[in-house]
A and B are shown apart, each in its own frame.
Chain A
Amino acid sequence: MKEIEIENELRRVVRRLFLEKRIDIFIGFEDSLNGVRPCFIKSVDEVDRLVWNKFCKNNLALYLLRFDCRVGIVAKGCDEGAIIELIKENQISRENLYIIGIPCNGIYSEDNKIYSVCKTCTRRNPLIADIIIGELVDEKDMTFDDLKEIEDMPIKDRFRFWIREFENCILCYACRNICPLCYCNECYLDRRDLIDLRERNLSDKIFFHLSRAIHLAGRCIECGECERACPMNIKLGKLFRKISKEVWELFEYKPGIGIEDKNPLITFDPKRDEEL
């Protein structure tokens, strides 16, 4: 199916959902000056604003927490992964949600380059969608070879590499705010005794990123939104992919797949943990 056909089919389905009064609001994408942006459709006359193309990069699961009504949403693989994690953590309920899944072959930046997280994505097809538009695509094998370059450095060089990355951080909190799974109303990163925004010390920046990393261990679905949101181009994707790798190697667990799966860090198994 071509992009334009998917777009037309998407509009048709959403129009029907509104006419049958099955949703109160629909979250999708609309055209903007530079590419696309998320939009909220409230009635059937607005449905023609919806678009779908390979530049639809945002993870729309972020906006689900804002609504307390029946919501429709268009979801790529990573969006759906985030939705599954939010359902697991009792932040949204599946009954109030209508998911339109679209198989995804990777998304592109405005200058037509595929995002690096998409190259290694193993979560391309919808799993829990109510309806799927477009043909399913082939899943790639899971590989973490892209981390080899950093992992093989001597430890001192690795430290230098990450210090060079983190010292660029301006503590703007964009990566936290864009993350669909960083939803806590009261976040310890807002505590000014932990992170001093007047000083902006290097140690604060390291603390910021490492604590976010450990919080998202076993939850991060590698949508790459943090890396895209970062105004200083810190290689956050490389940090969070390492988290996913360790979770996979230690616990054989991949977040965003099964609604019944349990995050390995909130449970334990005395037998298999012996080697830890």
Chain B
Amino acid sequence: MREDIRIVGFLCNWCSYAGADLAGVSRLEYPANLRIIRVMCSSRVDPIFVLKAFKEGADGVLVAGCRLGECHYIEGNFYTRRRFSMLKRILEYVGIEKERLRVEWISSSEGERFRSIIEEMTSEIKKLGKLNLDKYEGN
């Protein structure tokens, strides 16, 4: 049984990934629970990706893109926003806490903010505990 929680992060190539990079080169420390997947745009992230991540054992998912209006592809993250506000509500309805899915807009100059978001998210999800969809142990 794994000890620590796992968070999957889908970061957009142009802003959030560069932001994470900046956090790295500035030697900021953040919890190692995050596994980053780089995508070209946050609107590339199909809600199915998120559901698959939960299915494969992620306890939390972060979808991050450029700040609204600053998308490299002009309007990509506006679609992201609609899609994931929908998905969040569906997850909550079936009893998966909506804090487990987080959508953030992080620009490439916000290394510090990236770090604090990851810290906040990790501690929040630690409080919620692990999400095990394969075996339901409650009654």
Answer yes or no: do A and B interact: yes
Q: Which of B54, B85, B93, B139 contacts A158 (CB 8 A)?
A: B93
- Complex contact B93–A202 (CB within 8 A): no
The answer to whether A276 touches B90 (Cβ under 8 A) is no
Most chain A beta-carbon contacts within 10 A, residue among B47, B85, B90: B90
Q: Is the interface of B mostly helix, strand, loop or mixed?
A: helix
Most chain A beta-carbon contacts within 10 A, residue among B54, B75, B78, B133: B133
- For the complex formed, measure the closest distance between the CB of B18 and the CB atoms of chain A, giving whole angstroms: 23
Q: What's the minimum C-beta distance from B96 to chain A, rounded to whole angstroms?
A: 7
Determine if A214 and B48 form an interchain contact, defined as CB atoms under 8 angstroms apart: yes
B134 to A210, Cβ gap below 8 A?
A: no
Q: Which residues of A contact B139 (CB under 8 A)?
A: 160
The interface bits of chain B over 61-82 (1 if a CB of A lies within 8 angstroms of the residue's CB, else 0) are: 0000000110000010011011
Beta-carbon contact of B47 and A214 below 8 Å: yes
Tell me whether A177 is interfacial, beta carbon within 8 Å.
no
Partner pick for A246 among B47, B55, B75, B86, CB 8 A cutoff: B86
Query: What's the least CB distance linking A140 to chain B, in Å?
Result: 23
Selected contact of B86 from candidates A158, A247, A268, CB within 8 Å: A247
Chain B interface size, as a band, is 20 to 34
Expressed in whole angstroms, the minimum distance between the Cβ of A276 and any Cβ of chain B is 4
A247: which B residues are within 8 A, CB to CB? 86
Q: Which residues of B contact A265 (CB under 8 A)?
A: 79, 82-83, 86
A213 within 8 A of B: yes
CB pair B86 A214 closer than 8 Å: yes
Question: In this assembly, does A151 line the interface, its C-beta being within 8 Å of a C-beta of chain B?
Answer: yes
A158 B94 Cβ-Cβ under 8 A: yes
Q: B89 at the A/B interface (Cβ < 8 Å)?
A: yes
User: Could you tell me the distance in whole angstroms from the C-beta of A155 to the nearest C-beta in chain B?
Assistant: 5
Digit string of A100-115 for contact with B (CB within 8 Å is 1, else 0)?
0000000000000000
- Chain A contributes a number of interface residues (CB within 8 A of B) equal to 39
Interface string of B107-124 (1 = CB under 8 A from A): 000000000000000000
A188 within 8 A of B: yes
Name which residue of chain A comes closest to B136, CB basis: A163
A157 to B86, alpha carbons, bound, how many Å? Answer: 21
- Nearest Cβ distance between residue B32 and chain A, in whole angstroms? 25
B134: chain A residues at CB < 8 Å are 201-203
Chain B contacts for A276, CB-based, 8 A: 81-82, 85
Of residues 132 through 158 on chain A, the ones whose CB sits less than 8 Å from some CB of chain B are 150-151, 155-158
Q: What separation, in Å, do the CA atoms of A159 and B92 have in the docked complex?
A: 9
Interface presence of A65 (CB below 8 A): no
